[in-house]
Structure 1
Amino acid sequence: MEADISFIGLFLQASLLVKFVMLTLLSLSVISWAVIIQRRRLLTTAKQSSIKFEDRFWSGVDLNKLYKEISARQDGNEGLEALFHTGFKEYARLSKLNGKVPAAVMDGSYRAMRVSLSREMEKLETHLPLLATIGSTSPYIGLFGTVWGIMNSFIALGAVENATLAMVAPGIAEALIATAMGLFAAIPAVIAYNRFTTQVDSIEMSYANFMEEFSSILHRQAYSEKDEG
């Protein structure tokens, strides 16, 4: 009887443990691609929103008007909008309480923006560790299935007197498929993780730069209000 060398045939003929390894790797691959698609959309939207808001911010619009526009929205705000809204809100609140102490106003506003920055970065970095974990562990899971499958093949080979390559070929093939599936799950996850990490770092840098520039604007405004007062 000839062995079925198709992928489905090899899977059905595989031992229970090797089947479990293959199904695990298939599940990890599906999860990986779901995360990749979701993170790509999120990071692309974050980058586009950042560019759009910076264009609006540096267009010369009155900051009080911009703040009111953002506050009036019902869908909330994210990214640079969140940093601006949080910083300006804290600035306005502290100006009423510590109008004569610009340093206290600026310190409170800056700390509020730092907290907002941390929250925004946490959103962008969500699930990235999962990609790193899948990318680093999948090859070893596949290798475990390969070692187990080959071991069973040689055990079966040693139990017969007239052994041929055709007798062990299916077992070795199913074992090597486990390694292939491990690489299939790992490679996209590693590539995506490296790419997304670079994009997150770039976005974080743009957020931090905006925060420093906005703080400088608030600093000048705070001291000019003090001088006028």
Structure 2
Amino acid sequence: MQSKSRLRHAVFTIALALAPTPAFAIDEALLPRNLSPWGMFVGADIIVKTVMVGLAVASLVTWTVWLAKTIELRRSGALALQRTRALEGNLTLVEASVRAGDAHDAVAQLIQSCAKEAELSGGVLDDGLQERVALRLERVEAAMSRQIARGTGVLATIGATAPFVGLFGTVWGIMNAFIGISESHTTSLAVVAPGIAEALLATALGLVAAIPAVVIYNHLVRGIANYRALLGEASAQLMLLVSRQRDHRDFRLSRAAE
């Protein structure tokens, strides 16, 4: 009995020794030592590195545009509101023009354009004057709206393309992982893990760049719409001012006369 037991034990030991290593067995000596985000970036392929750097730059551009446009919108909106409220008072177009001076903000340019058209009309008070003033105001509004919206288009581009750029990095990283499996003739996780980790990092960076860009773009679009509404209100106040002066027959706008 003892000899049979020893024989079975020996056969079992030999079978275990000859059995193939499972595909998921991990040789810890082969595992990469640093799988932190920086370690994965340093160990990544040059193409994946380029994708990651591009997405990081896109994210930096997004936050820079957000800061710059937020400051610009707040300053421009506050000044436009202040000048629009001033137009609601008992002002003449001459007085409004003198107050605006040579300022370059949007409402000041609306006032200057309105005064310029009235001056070129030579004091002729007819329906044509109001039509010409309305056309001038419309053109200035459009120009100021384009100016305040500069830089926001890049946010829409980043929000639309960053996920696909990250996906490209993901595909490239997975391709490298399969190439590593093929060259090493093993399916060990130590070979697969770095490429998969790099691929997932590229995807994460794509989302980090895209999501804030979309949110910030929508936020700025709402702010720009509010700013345009202020300009529309200022134009309406100027048209009312011109109409009142026309009714009172008091329309002398020549700067020389001032």
**1:53 to partner: Cα distance:** 1.2
User: Which residue of 1 is the match for residue 79 of structure 2?
Assistant: 49
Give the fraction of aligned pairs with identical amino acids, expressed as a percent: 29
CA distance in structure 2 between the aligned counterparts of 1:83 and 1:16, rounded to whole angstroms: 53
CA contact (8 A) 1:94 1:108 kept: no
The question of whether the paired residues in 2 share the 8 Å contact of 1:91 and 1:106 is answered with no
TM-aligned CA distance change 1:92 to 1:161, over 3 Å: same
Structure 1 residue 116, shift from structure 2 partner:
0.9
Any idea what the Cα deviations from partners look like across 1:53-84, whole Å, max 9, x if unmatched? 1222223344322211222x4xx321222212
Shift of 1:46: 1.6
Greater helix fraction, Structure 1 or Structure 2: 1
Correspondence 1:117-196 to 2 at 5 A: 117-196=141-220
- 2:188 counterpart letter in structure 1: T
Match of 1:7 among 17, 37, 40: 37
Deviations 1:166-218 (A, max 9, x none): 22111111111111111111111111110111111122122123212321221
Q: Aligned pairs, how many?
A: 221
SS at match of 1:209: helix
String of CA shifts for 1:113-162, please: whole Å, max 9, x gaps.
Answer: 11111110011111111110011100100110011101110221133343
Contact 1:102 1:223 in 2 (8 A): no
For residue 66 of structure 1, the aligned residue among 88, 96, 107 is 96
Separation in 1, partners of 2:197, 2:74: 41
The alignment status of 1:84 with 2:107, answered yes or no, reads no
Specify every segment of 5 or more residues in structure 1 that has no aligned partner in the other structure, as ranges. Answer: none
Whichever residue aligns with residue 40 of structure 1, its letter is T
Does the 8 A contact of 1:157 with 1:167 survive in 2? yes
Q: Secondary structure at the match of 2:249?
A: helix
Contact persistence 2:52–2:202 (CA under 8 A): yes
2:135 maps to amino acid: R
Which moves more between the two structures, 120-129 or 52-61?
A: 52-61
Looking at structure 1, the residues matched to 66 and 90 of structure 2 have their Cα atoms a distance apart, in angstroms, of 37
Secondary structure at 1:14 match in 2: coil
Ranges in structure 2 where 5+ consecutive residues have no aligned partner: 1-28, 251-258
The match for 1:20 is 50
- TM-score, normalisation: structure 1: 0.89
The TM-score, its normalising length taken from structure 2, stands at: 0.79
Q: Distance in 1 between matches of 2:38 and 2:95?
A: 64
Which structure has the larger Rg? 2
